[in-house]
Every structure is written in C-alpha cells, then in structure tokens.
Amino acid sequence: MMRKLSLAVAATLLTGVALAAAPKHPDFTGVWTNAGAPAMGGTTNTAANVVLPMLPGPKARVDAYNKLVQPLGETPGGWCLGTGLPGSMLGSGGYPMEILQREEQINIVYEAHNEARRVYFGARNAPQEDRVPGRNGYSTGHWEGDTLVVETDNLVDQIDQRFAHSDEAKVVERYHLEPKLDDKGRRVLVADMTLTDPKFYSAPVTAQKRWAQVPNGRLLPYECAEEGWNARLAEIAKKAGVAVP
C-alpha cells in the first residue's frame, strides 16, 4: 500500500516538474535566414509591388529624396547606416538575424551593420520618458497565445526606408512559427508587420516576412565604418602636412 502511494506521489511530482519546465511560449532563439525567394528577401509585400496610401506631402518628400539619390544609386547602407524599422525586420539586406529569448527580454540582432533591437516585457520596460528615439525605435512585447506581438514607437523620421515614415509611426509585428517544417526541414518564423503613421499614410501599411532557421547558425561580425575613419584620418594628416602614421 505504502509502495503504491509512494509511486503515485512520485508520478504526481514528476508531472508537476514536467509542467513547470515546459516553456510557456515558443522559443524563437536561434539564427534565421530568408525563407522566401532571394529577390524578395522573403518579404511578400514590398514598396515595389504595392501602391502605398501615402499622403501628398510626405510623397513629395519621398519623391524628392529618390530623385536625389537614385541616379547615383546611393543608399544609407552604403555609408554604413543601419536599415532601421521596418526595413530591418523585413529584409536586413538579405543577411541573417539572431534571436536571443528570455522571459523578460528578447534581443534581435540583424547581421547587417550589427543592428540590434531589444524587446522588453512587462516590468522590464523603461519609463516612457526614458525611451530614446532611434531608427529602430523602442519595442515592447507581449504574447497572445503562441504569437509574439512586438509594438514599436519612438521611431525617428525616415524617408530612406522601403516604407518611409515619420516620427509618429508605430509598427506592430506579430511573430508565429509555421506548424510544419519547410521542404528543407527547417522551422519557419513568420512576421506580419503593420505600420501606422497619421503623418504619412491614410491607411495602415502591411507586409509579411518569412524566416527559416539555420541549425547551429552563427552571425558574422559586420564592421563597416573603418573606411570613413581612414578617410577622415587622411584629411587630418593632409591638413597637418604629415603622412598618415
């Protein structure tokens, strides 16, 4: 009798331990690469193939910007500037990204330009007044079942984006894993993005990005700014009338 009771207690304890150890949410930790056609970078909806509901004022700015840079083929990335949101999460220049996931914080690193995002959960979030505006803004996260929802604001005005936007833009990303592996046996992470911006758009802008996991993948370092410093050093040396040391 005692033996049966002990076994029952042990089984209950083991079940409890198993339940406690079970992750509350899907684990997106890992390195991910484009899952879609290379030309699209896995993105199913780009500024190139949709008519954006852009308001006249911002459209004039974007047209002027394109007229200025496109004949030269200039890009921010060519000058080592990170892509910023939403371009970073929609393509990252075709380079992979890494996700490191903890319960209270998720870090996302895009290999191109070592661009990093931090998604904070609950009490881990900074007070609103301490959130610093930037090209990738400030991101806060929560879970809706197995879907990770990331809401980003504190973005800066970026007319150099695939989806240009103002400093009032807000981006919502919804990440979920496809139920089946792809034909190469990889997990596929789907990101559905919605951009709203009353200054730039008359309606929300949406796009989807699909990432495939790279087993045991590693990001490579991406150093880019050294040439700019070398050029500056040469200018300084020239002004001083000396050779570059």
* Region binding other proteins by CB under 8 A among candidate stretches 7-15, 36-44, 97-105, 140-148: 36-44
Structural contact between residues 101 and 28, judged by C-beta atoms closer than 8 angstroms? yes
For other proteins, the closer CB: 160 or 197: 160
66 scored as a contact of other proteins (CB under 8 A): no
Is 39 a binder of other proteins (CB under 8 A)?
Answer: yes
- Any idea of the CA torsion for 242, 243, 244, 245, to the nearest 10 degrees? -90
Query: To the nearest whole angstrom, how small is the minimum distance from the Cβ of residue 239 to other proteins?
Result: 10
DSSP state of 183: T
Classify strands 115-121 and 138-144 as parallel, antiparallel or unpaired.
parallel
Q: Which of 57, 70, 126, 198 binds other proteins (CB under 8 A)?
A: 70
Map residues 97-116 to x or -, x wherever contact with other proteins holds by CB under 8 A. Answer: --------------xxx---
When binding is defined by CB under 8 A, the residue of 45, 55, 80, 206 that contacts other proteins is 80
Using CB under 8 A as the binding rule, the residues of this chain from 216 to 235 that contact other proteins are 220, 222-224, 226-228, 230-231, 234-235
Among 83, 139, 140, 161, binds other proteins (CB under 8 A): 83
203 binds other proteins (CB under 8 A): no
How many angstroms separate the Cα of 206 from the Cα of each of 35, 66, 163, 171, 174? Answer: 18, 22, 10, 10, 11
Cis peptide upstream of residue 86 (ω within 30 degrees of 0):
yes
Site string for other proteins, 112-151 (x = CB under 8 A): xx--------------------------------------
> For residues 204 and 193, what is the distance between their CA atoms, to the nearest angstrom?
10
Region for 212 from its dihedrals, namely left if φ exceeds 0, alpha if ψ lies in -120 to 50, beta otherwise? beta
Among positions 44, 46, 93, 124, the unique one binding other proteins when judged by CB under 8 A: 93
Smaller CB distance to other proteins: residue 7 or 231? 231
Q: Where are the alpha helices (DSSP H) in the chain?
A: 2-21, 56-69, 87-90, 226-240
Q: Which of 61, 234, 80, 31 is nearest to 160 (CA)?
A: 61
Binding residues (CB under 8 A) for other proteins: these are 37-39, 41, 70, 72-80, 83, 92-95, 111-113, 220, 222-224, 226-228, 230-231, 234-235, 237-238, 244
